[in-house]
Structure 1
Amino acid sequence: MTSPPSLSTKLMRIGAGLLVVALASIGLTLWLTWQLDGGAAAVNEAGRLRMQTWRLHSAVQAQLPPADVAALVGQFDESLALLRSGDPGRPLSVPWDDTLSREFAAVESLWQVQRARWLQGDAALEAPQQDVGEFVEAIDRFVRTIEKEIAGLTAILNLFQYLMMALAIGGAVVMLYSGYRFVISPLVSMRQGQKQLEAGEFSVRVAVNSHDEFGQVAAGFNRMAATLQSMYEGLESQVERKTRRIEAQRARLEALYEVSAFLAGANNIEELSRGFSQRVRRIMKADAVAVRWSDEANQRYLMLASDCFPQEMQEEERSLLAGACACGNLQPDARTRVIPIQSHDAAPVRHCAKVGYQNVVSVPVRLQQRLIGEIDLFFRGEIALNADETELLDALASHLASALEGLRAAALEREAAVGEERALIARELHDSIAQSLAFLKIQVQLLRSAVQKEQAEKVQATLDELDTGLRESINDVRELLVHFRTRTNTDDIEAALQETLHKFQHQTGLPTRLEMEGQGLPLPPDVQVQVLHVLQEALSNVRKHAQASHVSLEVVKGARWRFTVRDNGTGFDVTHAHDQTHVGMKIMRERAERIGAQVKVVSSPEHGTAVTLTLPPYPVTASGVDTVGLDLPASPFTEHRAMIP
């Protein structure tokens, strides 16, 4: 059976029907109007034939030149051709029918006779006056016939205008009636039912008279009223039941929150497992609890902690072979279950039976679908777990697994941090002191060669290089120690910047100035670390190359923090900034990229240098970069490698 049409379908059908009728009427009216316009133009053109006939007759009698008479004849031919074919552009069209065709044929026949006479010139003077009058009369009959056809079309047009007026009125009536029947009346009924429902009459029902949208709404209203009536009749019992359920859920959430808070604050596995077992026993009202942990092969279970568990059983079950007892007998797809202890003689449960336990609840502990342990709750009486309690135990087991994994991950992270810090120190020592020592070794070889060859000037030059290299090495060591002692502030970076400039001033003797302006959110500590690295590298380049007498650090706080190290030194040509002798600039850019920042260097010879570090709106240090503290800055002394002959 086909489903009844919806309200929108009904309205669309009614509207589409009225639209089709209206469009058809408008199209027919436009066609009739076009016909009337063309017929009116045809009447005018046919009336011109009479005037042209009398002009021809007058021209012949006045004995005008034959050329003028021929021109008038040509005009008459053009008018006949225009009437015969019409002109859509004007528009001009004759409403042809059998009568009009006969009248037009008669005019053309008489015209052929008159045309031959008028083209003969003097012979037309002998034509009788009555022939011309007969020709004009034929033209008049043709014109009257056209006018008669136009009058008929006009009557039809008027009729259609009356019909369109009636159609508009009828359409309005149909739309009003449809709106009242399909929309207004159902809405009034629904409103009355709503008022009764608001007054507390839950037995009210709305009549469903259709299957459209309002019928569906009415049916939904009736179902809602029935539901409200049912709920109202048993409201007290439902409220009491819901209250008990909410209270139970609150207790479970409170227990889950308590255990989660404890697990988050535990510092070691012993404290964590012991406190967990105590809390789980109290929450589930168990007589004893044992937390067991499985080895990698799930072949043996080790008891991590227990609460109220008999001492003699603890010694026997401290390391339990998988499958030797009801505990520690989990399958990969095991779920939380209640295991009854039914016989004192059954070997797997004889110890529990002797103590007086009747049931044990086994809760598997999983981490990422891998079975890693078990929680056993012992009861001296009957126990039945509902779905909520089972869900709570599973959640507690999941939190325990996550907490233990978190402790393991923290230990691994500390180990990795120590290893990373050592690797950073080794790398920085290799890039600074080791390179300096390699440079000094080469200079010693050059010195030995110069001594052997008794090249005094080269010996002195090499000694100067050694002296310079040693001073640079000492400065590098001091700079590394300064960087090791640098600390950041989680609230504001200003203190770290002041300390960095103070150490730079103490090391170089150059006056420094710190300028800070604007307001912005504090930078994260790891971002502060990278910022200080870049600034220290820029200050190190000033110390080594700038030959400046003053250094300033300008800080602009805002959505994008901006740091500018400015000196009044010798400067350099920035077009050669990527040369191997400018390793420091490369290091600064690499460090800036770690937090998505940009480094811009503006300098020119004899006009100083400005190094600007611009941070993104939300700078974030790449994962695993500088998470254990400040690493050592790459020493600019590596630039000596490019100068080794």
Structure 2
Amino acid sequence: MGNVLNRIRQSIVFRIGVLMLLTVVVAIGSMVASYVISDAAENDAAAVNLSGSLRAMTYKSVATASSGDRLATQNLAEQISARLDHIAAISEFSPADHQPEAQNFREVSREWQQHILPLLTSVASGESRISEGELLSTAESFVDRVDTLVLDYQHTAEHKVELLRLVQLGSLFATVILVYFSLFSLSRSVEQPLRKLIASCRDIARGNFRQKLDLHGEDELGLLAQTINRMCEVIDGTHRELETRVRDKTAQLHKSHEVLDFQYRLARRISEGPLNGLEIDQWLAEFSELTELHDLDLCLMTPEGMTPYQHLTHGAGNNACQENNCNSCAHASGPREVAGQQIYRFPLEADKRNYGVLVCTLPQGQLLQREQQQRLSAFADAVTTAITLKERSEQDRRVALMDERGIIARELHDSLAQSLSYLKIQVARLARCSRSDALDRDQVVEITSELKQGLNASYRQLRELLTTFRLQIAEGGLRAILEKSVFQYREQHPEITIGLVYDLEEIPLTPNEEIHLLQLVREASQNAVYHSWGDHISIHLTQGEGQEIRVSICDNGVGISESPEKRNHFGMSIMQERASNLGGGLDIRRRESGGTEVSFVFVPEYARERQLLWNNAAGGGG
């Protein structure tokens, strides 16, 4: 019984099934009871009818017996006995039945068999002589008992009808009660919980996972509600955790964006030019605030030095730091615990040269995160790059200064030095003339005239050298400055026709290549102007085969001498050096049609890089 009650409490289906089963049982019970009662009452009407007919037949048999009609009396007696037997048969009374109708029937049957039937038979046969009034009085007593029997059968039939009515009313009431409880159970256990479940599902579909179903039953819907509540709790917890993680990731991305922006600005500033100590200090302070690392030391050292020439500190810095013999600190890396502090060192190293160290100090027990270490390492690399670029820039300026000084020396040697040597010879001649006893005025005038011409030539060469040394590649590029130079030559030497063909618009040239090409063309053009004795000069800059650049300067003058080792007049050594700097080949030869041709062929840097990439790709693919 306890299991059934538990199942009724825990299962809606079982509960509804029990209610339906009870309804069916009540309906079947009502039908069975009605059938049994109606079956039991089937012979009650016949029993009443037969019992009622005994009265008339009794009176009739009294009349026939009193008239002496023995045969008619015998027939009526047999009919009465037969009807009593029929009543006994349909009533099915047992000898032990104590119901009133059974007792009355037994008394009626006994009185008939023992008194009335023998009396009627003896009267009809004439054996007994009693008056008709006495016989009628005896018959009336028997009829009274028969009337009581009829009333008993009537009451029995009425009781059965009343019982049938009560059974039907009871079954109807029970059915109504069961239907009501079924509907109430469906409404309370199914309809209302389903309505709450549907409302909850709609809220969940809208993304509300914080609502809670107030269903505490132990049935299927209660279990479903508990499951939905747990699911909502899990999803809401996961949702909140994801929101927290998204906020954290957003903050990290924002921080990473700020760091990337800082690194970009720092890289752009480094590309613009060298950083001084004040700027590095400002970048260090910004980096410290950005990464929330408040104790930083940046020691800048020369590669040969043992102590920093500049020590930049942000925050408290490294309290254990002593600026004496910092070489071991500059070359150390990784975390180390010193004087109750956690010390992280990031050396500033490039090309096996050390330029200092970046030190981050943390309290004891606190460690740098991997991302913070990467940011510190990137900042140290940026500072190293800035120092390296500054050092290389200074080295490049020194090399450029030495190259420029060499060029100036060669130019002075090829122009002013020779002119001054010539003037020195003329001054020596003038001195000898002045020391002689007989002064030759014509010779003095000749020498003076030559000195004047030499001075004018030296002054002209000086102006041209100044123009050359002040030459710069400004806006417009190589073509514009070449056209300007050709225009100047035409103004200075109107007797010479100078042509320029420039077909390198589609080729990207580096500043170094433009400077060397400009100087090479100017030197070859100058040689043609001053030493070829021709009246036509053509300058061609074109693209050759295999992405080569061809440069040629041709004149129609006297041509190069047979002794090319004497190259000062044409600046051959200078042009050879420029050609080697560009990795090309220089050729100076006499033209068959007359004059000299200076040709130069080289592959520009962009083409060499492209060819290198192709070779690497082909090697990697093989």
- TM-score w.r.t. length of structure 2: 0.47
Greater helix percent: which structure?
A: 2
Greater Cα radius of gyration, structure 1 or 2: 2
